Amino acid sequence: MVVYYPKPVVDEVQVLLMTPSSVQPINTSWKKIMAIFRREGILKPKRLIHVNDIFPHPKNRAGMMINGFNAQANLSKVLRVGANRDELHGAVVIEFNPFPKERGVQINANIELITKSKGLIANPTGSEWCLSLGTGHMVASCRAARQGVRACFKNLRNDHGMVSLEILTRDPELKIMIDEGWEFDVLPWQVEATWSVLPEFAQRALNASNSVATDATEWEVAVTIGETYSNMEEPDWNLAIDAAAAGSPQCVGYIHAIRTLVENFGGGDGFPLILEQE
């Protein structure tokens, strides 16, 4: 059923979407938009959603959606420190568009992403009905675990070189995330039909929020680079740097200098002089 929102509501949200971050921080605008959606009964009740039911939104990260390597890098780190669903900030999904043409665009974008991922992103399950705007990489990593895709990191791999579900589910919290999912705020498909820029805006706001929450020090970035490089099945400095830069730490502008520190002064194999700083 097509739903039309009252013009005052449409205009109120549109003003917030068009407000420059120099005037008002993007997180503030997003919180106000979500408050309007709650006030108007647009936001659906928060619900537990299984990862098999979720694709990333095609507008995530300016159309790049998700990166299979970074999804596994996140999973490798979670496995080392322990999972915590309370840290999954900004878990938001939006429903698939029900019209065949628009729905086809959403599904085909994901199929193309999977095809180009070199086996790092899980295949469709057939049960997908919504698109992630927040926590998309965590969803992708849990889907990868369920399907046993090619592993990029030693601590994730089984004897066949695939992501090991058996290893990951030893963590009881991670087991729940993989087996059951976690709670998401659910936006109806009409939201995107009304405000076409909203999915990209939401993703930028939610990603900014998570980046602030997880901002890393220079030493933490160095540790991430060293651990990522050491645990990779096929070590690659550029990919290790990308993994460490995913959260947009303040030192991202000179992250290559930190990589040089790790490589040249880390103590050799495994970079013990860097990793002991953790």
Cβ-proximal residues to 2 (8 Å cutoff; 6+ apart), any chain: 190
What is the pLDDT confidence band of residue 154, given thresholds at 50, 70 and 90?
A: confident
Residue 215 reports pLDDT greater than 60: no
CA 113 to chain CA centroid, Å, is: 14
What is the pLDDT confidence band of residue 275, given thresholds at 50, 70 and 90?
A: low
Confidence at residue 61, expressed as pLDDT on a 0 to 100 scale: 72
Cβ-proximal residues to 166 (8 Å cutoff; 6+ apart), any chain: 158
Residue 184 reports pLDDT greater than 60: yes
Residue 150 lies inside a defined structural domain of this protein: yes
Tell which of 213, 246, 263 closes a domain: 213
Same domain, 51 and 155: yes
> 169 or 228: which carries more pLDDT confidence?
169
Tell which of 213, 245, 267 closes a domain: 213
Residue 201 reports pLDDT greater than 80: yes
Confidence at residue 213, expressed as pLDDT on a 0 to 100 scale: 41
Q: Domain count of the chain? A: 2
Residue 160 lies inside a defined structural domain of this protein: yes
Same domain, 25 and 105: yes
Which of 199, 209, 243 is closest to 56 using CA atoms? 199
Same domain, 186 and 116: yes
CB 53 within 8 A of CB 126: no
Mean residue pLDDT of the chain comes to: 88
Identify the domain containing residue 244 by its residue range.
Answer: 218-275
Which of 44, 71, 42, 41 is closest to 56 using CA atoms? 71
Q: What is the mean pLDDT of residues 66-93?
A: 88
Confidence at residue 20, expressed as pLDDT on a 0 to 100 scale: 87
Confidence at residue 168, expressed as pLDDT on a 0 to 100 scale: 94
Distance (Å, rounded) from C-alpha 206 to C-alpha 221? 21
Q: What is the mean pLDDT of residues 173-200?
A: 95
Q: Per DSSP, which regions of 57-194 are E strands? A: 92-95, 130-132, 182-187
Residue 2 lies inside a defined structural domain of this protein: no
Same domain, 145 and 224: no
Longest dimension (CA), the chain: 64
> 70 or 122: which carries more pLDDT confidence?
122
Residue 214 reports pLDDT greater than 90: no
Q: What is the mean pLDDT of residues 224-230?
A: 80
Confidence at residue 5, expressed as pLDDT on a 0 to 100 scale: 93
Q: Is the sign of the CA dihedral 81, 82, 84, 85 positive or negative?
A: positive
Residue 246 lies inside a defined structural domain of this protein: yes
Residue 1 lies inside a defined structural domain of this protein: no
Residue 114 reports pLDDT greater than 90: yes
Of the chain, the percentage scoring pLDDT greater than 90 comes to: 52
Tell which of 213, 241, 260 closes a domain: 213
Residue 245 reports pLDDT greater than 70: yes
Residue 132 reports pLDDT greater than 60: yes
> 12 or 244: which carries more pLDDT confidence?
12
| Relative orientation angle of helices 26-39 and 198-213, to the nearest 10 degrees | 120
